[in-house]
């Protein structure tokens, strides 16, 4: 077989693989939207849930999804960026560095239900937080950290070395170089990591069932971090598992469509600024 023919076959296989994946995604989204779009309405998105009667909404769950996500990112982003900077800029090849990287990678492989049990034991029981938004956010932080640390480290490592050399040659300190030169150049990659983490966290159920609970406040919005914080994904599971409402299939389909729209819009809100920053950085270069 000639090299040119092998190249054409390999290219065809890659295109087929990409089209198959795209087809599966389109079919999934089309089915979920076909089932869920007729359910979506302003009353459904902002209304209060119902335990027994049909026609309830998901207002508190919709708010809790973003509230818990926001708190978990507030807790995890500073730690992840700090760890990424340390590993990329300060850490030398040593046993401690290897242990940190191994711990990060090991944490990324832990099933979410195990993290949920850990959060229930530590935050819910030992620290006495109960089923609460703060307990769910702190446990969700453990899910966010591995991806954010690795993405931050790799994004910082991709910044060209001559950026650092030029900054140091002009008299800047190492920290000034990191803060004013390296981090701005690495922001697009860090934003990508935050987007991936946020999308995964919005659909998380196991962790939040064990830590934030399966009930929601009747006050909207309720900023009390000690209140229970059922999210959209948890409410979908609850409705289909033990729910007694007669329209539970419609509620679940509506939540599925709402989650799809929410994640797509959320990704766009993060991706567009990242592209703008990346374009400006490329222009400066």
Q: Which residue has the tokens 């374009």?
A: 279
Q: How many CB atoms lie within 10 A of CB 34?
A: 11
Can you tell me the distance from the alpha carbon of 1 to that of 129, in angstroms, rounded to the nearest whole number? Answer: 67
Task: Give the chain's length.
Answer: 285
Phi-psi region of 55 (alpha: psi -120 to 50; beta: other; left: phi over 0): left
What is the model's pLDDT at position 273? 67
Spatial CB neighbours of 71, under 8 Å, sequence gap ≥ 6: 133, 134, 137, 225
Task: Note the pLDDT tens digit of each residue in 56-101.
Answer: 888 899 999 999 999 999 999 999 999 888 888 887 777 878 888 8
What is the model's pLDDT at position 283? 47
pLDDT at 232 over 50: yes
What is the model's pLDDT at position 137? 92
What is the model's pLDDT at position 284? 46
What is the model's pLDDT at position 278? 60
Closest CA to 194 of 105, 82, 74: 74
CATH class name, domain 41-280: mainly alpha
Can you tell me the distance from the alpha carbon of 185 to that of 282, in angstroms, rounded to the nearest whole number? Answer: 9
Do residues 212 and 133 touch, judged by C-beta distance below 8 A? yes
- Residue 276's pLDDT band (boundaries 50, 70, 90)? low
Q: Mean pLDDT of all residues in the chain?
A: 85
Farthest CA pair distance, the chain? 70
Task: Give the rounded percent of residues in the chain with a pLDDT score beyond 90.
Answer: 16
- Phi, psi of 172, rounded to the nearest 5 degrees: -75, 150
- Residue 274's pLDDT band (boundaries 50, 70, 90)? low
Domain boundaries, the chain: 41-280
What is the model's pLDDT at position 222? 80
Do residues 199 and 267 touch, judged by C-beta distance below 8 A? yes
Q: Which residue has the tokens 């708010």?
A: 63
| Helix boundaries (H) for the chain | 3-36, 42-46, 59-85, 95-109, 112-119, 133-157, 161-169, 174-177, 183-202, 206-211, 232-242, 248-284
């Amino acid at each position: 077989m000639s090299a040119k023919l092998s190249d054409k076959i390999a290219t065809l296989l890659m295109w087929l693989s990409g089209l198959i994946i795209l087809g599966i995604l389109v079919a999934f989204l089309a089915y979920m939207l076909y089932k869920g779009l007729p359910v979506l309405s302003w009353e459904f998105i902002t209304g209060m849930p119902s335990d027994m009667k049909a026609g309830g909404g998901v207002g508190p769950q919709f708010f809790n999804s973003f509230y818990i996500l926001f708190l978990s990112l507030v807790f995890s982003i500073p730690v992840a960026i700090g760890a990424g900077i340390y590993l990329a800029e300060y850490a030398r090849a040593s046993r401690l560095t290897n242990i940190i990287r191994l711990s990060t990678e090991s944490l990324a492989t832990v099933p979410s239900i195990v993290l949920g049990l850990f959060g229930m034991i530590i935050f819910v029981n030992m620290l006495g937080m109960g089923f609460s938004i703060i307990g769910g956010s702190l446990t969700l932080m453990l899910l966010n950290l591995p991806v954010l640390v690795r993405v931050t480290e790799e994004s910082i490592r991709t910044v060209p070395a001559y950026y650092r050399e030029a900054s140091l040659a002009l008299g800047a300190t190492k920290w000034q170089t990191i803060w004013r030169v390296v981090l701005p150049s690495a922001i697009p990659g860090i934003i990508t990591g935050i987007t991936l983490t946020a999308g995964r966290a919005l659909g998380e159920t196991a962790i939040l069932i064990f830590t934030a609970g399966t009930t929601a406040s009747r006050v909207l919005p309720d900023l009390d971090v000690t209140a229970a914080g059922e999210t959209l994904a948890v409410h979908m599971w609850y409705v289909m598992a033990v729910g007694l409402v007669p329209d539970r299939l419609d509620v679940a389909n509506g939540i599925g469509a709402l989650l799809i729209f929410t994640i797509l819009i959320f990704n766009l809100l993060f991706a567009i600024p990242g592209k703008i920053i990346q374009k400006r950085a490329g222009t400066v270069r």
